[in-house]
Amino acid sequence: MKKDTIYTFLIILIIGMFSTNFIFFQMNNKTLFGGTTISIITGSILLIKDRVEKRQNKK
């Protein structure tokens, strides 16, 4: 997976969460914070996986 794809996915996920929060229904802060944290952790894992794959392909 390309880095651009990962960043695009994360940006869409985070913007979607916040727009859902403000447009459709008001989530409590714990839910919004938890979802944002999960998306950041998922993105970090995907970026680490991408970096490890690139290092293995160079060898």
Would 59 be classed as within a structural domain? no
Q: What is the DSSP letter of 26?
A: -
Prediction pTM value: 0.60
Q: What band does 18 get if pLDDT is binned at 50, 70 and 90?
A: confident
Domain of 12, in residue numbers: 3-54
Q: Does residue 18 contact residue 35 with C-beta atoms inside 8 Å?
A: no
pLDDT at 19 over 70: yes
The predicted pLDDT at position 1 comes to 59
Show the CA angle centred on residue 3, arms to residues 46 and 21, nearest 5°. 70
Residue 15 lies in a domain: yes
Using a pLDDT cut of 90, give the percent of the chain over it: 0
* 38 within a domain of the structure (yes/no): yes
pLDDT of 45 reads 85
Give the Cα separation of 28 and 48 in Å (integer).
Answer: 31
* Count of domains forming the chain: 1
Sign of the C-alpha dihedral computed for residues 19, 24, 26 and 27 taken in this order: negative
Q: Residue range 14-37: average pLDDT?
A: 75
The values of phi and psi at residue 51, to 5°, are -65, -40
**Arithmetic mean of pLDDT over the chain:** 78
